Structure 1
Amino acid sequence: MTTFKLRLRIIGLLALCLALAACSAVKLSYNNLDEVAYWWLDGYLDFDTAQASRVRGDIARLHLWHRETELPRVEELLQGLERLAPGEVTAAQACDLFEQARKRLLAVAERAEPAIVTLALSLTPDQLQHLERRYARNNQEYRREWLRLPPGERLDQRLERIVERSERVYGRLEEPQLAVLRRQLAQSVFDPQRILAERQRRQQDMLQTLRQLQAPGLELAQARGLMRGYFERVQSSPDAAWRAHQEALTQEGCRSFAAGHNATTPAQRETAVQRLRGWQRDLRELARNGAPARG
């Protein structure tokens, strides 16, 4: 498959399972995820015929592996959430769940690495230019969405998104819960300019790595080393200030999750339990049934 953007889509196979909360089409969405992933990736790299065939096969194999191997582990994560849902949650417990999810994401990325390298080696200069232009468009969209908003509107937009995700789990939130979320966001260290700067650093790192992979006579082991180095720099940025900011955002997220959950009512927590159980049933059925037949 492909680069950091491909890796994000691969990771989406797992993230979708955790974030599809309350969607009535969980199974349909998961079963069609390989097709969605292919077209998403093609938008970044504009595959030729040979690449398209190989990428579709790689995605299908990764999807099948994820279905058989990772869905049961995602179910275990949901079981952990279900056990916590009826009571109070601490920030430490929230961070523990976050770390478990992070490990699952890394497992998917590691599984995909050989296919990523293979595709990266086949990319042409025109495709790298296509990727660079796509990065530029994405960055422009990010500026419009976050940097050009007044602080008050930015807070409202973040609140809207958090409420939407939370209501998929707990049902409708009432003013006491909304007030807790507003307070958490008002104290946030979220800095969209700093996020954009790190995003652009990763993009340039990715483009430089891909160009290094075009060197004549490069051996496969060298290519894997270059790509692995890039992935390591994504996991741990060379920018110490960004690493500190990222850790602050993580800890803040854990505290906010705990505060938001602890503000919910017994009825809302029971709704969360029932929905978590429903998603677990969906995942078990997906894992048991295997890949759907294609017409």
Structure 2
Amino acid sequence: MKKAKITLILLLSFFLNACTSSFVYNNIDWLLYWYVGDYVDLTSDQKATLDEYVASWHHWHRSTELKKYQAQLKNLQAKLPSSPLNQEQWLTEFYQAQQHFYRFRNEIAPELAAMAQQLSAQQLEGLLVTWKKKNLERQSENGGESKDERLISRQKDLAEQLEENIGKLTPLQIKMTQQYAQQFASTSEQRMLYQSTLQQVVRKLFAKQSAPEFQQQLTSIISNPDQYKTPEYKAASEQNKRLYAQMLADLNLSLTEKQKQTLNAKLEDWIRLIDKLILD
């Protein structure tokens, strides 16, 4: 189900909610320290190195990437009033939005790999232990729900995601989302297997931290962790994504004038926010 949520609206929400205001976006360095601090304690020299990397990433992102987000949002805003988007058109939007994330991942991967090579054995072990602990906590949370409870949560999540962008759903739209929610394939077990495999791969690589090929191999993992997903996981994710695109296409046909105005206003808010972030 998770992959099915990667629509243009939702994926860009990730980026924009990560910088939902100028304050957050312009102070991403200390927010990053707060996040990294959950996994590893950096030395003063390592923090200085990370400072340089973050400043470089931030400049690159502000000067090149924000414009690409904005261009896609403007294009979507222009297309929606003329005619509802069909499934294939939504899938195209998903693909373009995913490319934003992939470019970001590719940009930071080499320097993250270089920094990882400078971590001590104690830091690496702490990172791996914390990573495993957090994954186990998430698995425990997800495993505590019955099948019916997961379905109810999924239906609630879908409704909340949509209402955040178009406003209150009509009874017909609520029924539609409930019907679609029942069709999404569960990927929780496959996701847990993927996380476990990824941890094993990283731990094995860290055991050869001084090897000449370490940085190149870790860069590959950071840039393309999907290579460790099973074919079944990829197939289920793709199926869910296509199903989500069809749901959006069907919902497009049922939007009220007020909902269309709400969605347009939401897109306009994001476009203006990006303008502000570019200029800050």
Q: TM-score, normalised by structure 1?
A: 0.82
Secondary structure, aligned partner of 2:185: coil
Q: 1:54 aligns with which of 40, 44, 49?
A: 49
Q: 1:110 aligns with which of 87, 96, 106?
A: 106
Within-5 A mapping of 1:18-167: 18-19=16-17, 26-86=21-81, 87-167=83-163
Task: Answer whether contact 1:209 1:230 (CA < 8 A) is retained.
Answer: no
Task: Answer whether contact 1:82 1:276 (CA < 8 A) is retained.
Answer: yes
Q: 2:239 aligns with which of 234, 248, 252?
A: 248
Q: 2:267 aligns with which of 273, 276, 288?
A: 276
In the alignment, which residue of structure 1 is the partner of 2:14? 16
Task: Answer whether contact 1:67 1:287 (CA < 8 A) is retained.
Answer: yes
Deviations 1:212-244 (A, max 9, x none): 2x13xx33xx23321233246513336322222
In the alignment, which residue of structure 1 is the partner of 2:7? none
Provide closer, same or farther for how the CA distance between residues 163 and 141 of structure 1 changes in structure 2, counting only shifts above 3 A: farther
Letter in 2 for 1:120: A
Quick one: distance in 1 between partners of 2:154 and 2:23? 28
In the alignment, which residue of structure 2 is the partner of 1:7? none
Unpaired runs of at least 5, structure 2: 1-10
Provide closer, same or farther for how the CA distance between residues 122 and 112 of structure 1 changes in structure 2, counting only shifts above 3 A: same
Quick one: distance in 2 between partners of 1:253 and 1:88? 15
Unpaired runs of at least 5, structure 1: 1-12, 290-295
Shift >6 Å, 4+ stretches: none
Q: CA deviation at 1:72?
A: 0.5
Task: Answer whether contact 1:147 1:193 (CA < 8 A) is retained.
Answer: no
Quick one: distance in 1 between partners of 2:253 and 2:203? 44
Q: TM-score, normalised by structure 2?
A: 0.86
Measured on the aligned residues, the alpha-carbon RMSD in Å equals: 2.3
Provide closer, same or farther for how the CA distance between residues 139 and 114 of structure 1 changes in structure 2, counting only shifts above 3 A: closer
Quick one: distance in 2 between partners of 1:240 and 1:268? 38
Provide closer, same or farther for how the CA distance between residues 134 and 174 of structure 1 changes in structure 2, counting only shifts above 3 A: farther
Quick one: distance in 2 between partners of 1:30 and 1:136? 29
Task: Answer whether contact 1:75 1:283 (CA < 8 A) is retained.
Answer: yes
In the alignment, which residue of structure 2 is the partner of 1:225? 216
Quick one: distance in 1 between partners of 2:176 and 2:235? 25
Task: Answer whether contact 1:17 1:74 (CA < 8 A) is retained.
Answer: no
In the alignment, which residue of structure 2 is the partner of 1:195? 191
Percent identity at matched positions?
A: 22
In the alignment, which residue of structure 2 is the partner of 1:6? none
